[in-house]
C-alpha cells in the first residue's frame, strides 16, 4: 500500500545518490590523470 511506496521512493533516492557519488568520483579521478 502507501507505506510500501514510500520505501520504494526512499530506496530509489539512495540508489541515485550512490550512482551520483560514483560518477563524481570517476570524473574527479579522470580529471587528475
Rounded Cα distance, 21 and 13, in Å: 12
Q: How confident is the model at residue 33 (pLDDT cuts 50, 70, 90)?
A: low
- Maximum CA extent, the chain: 49
pLDDT, mean of residues 25-30: 85
C-alpha count within 13 angstroms, C-beta hemisphere, residue 23: 6
Model pTM score: 0.61
Q: How confident is the model at residue 2 (pLDDT cuts 50, 70, 90)?
A: confident
pLDDT of residue 28: 83
Amino acid at each position: 500500500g502507501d507505506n510500501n511506496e514510500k520505501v520504494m521512493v526512499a530506496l530509489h533516492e539512495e540508489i541515485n545518490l550512490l550512482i551520483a557519488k560514483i560518477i563524481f568520483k570517476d570524473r574527479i579521478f579522470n580529471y587528475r590523470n
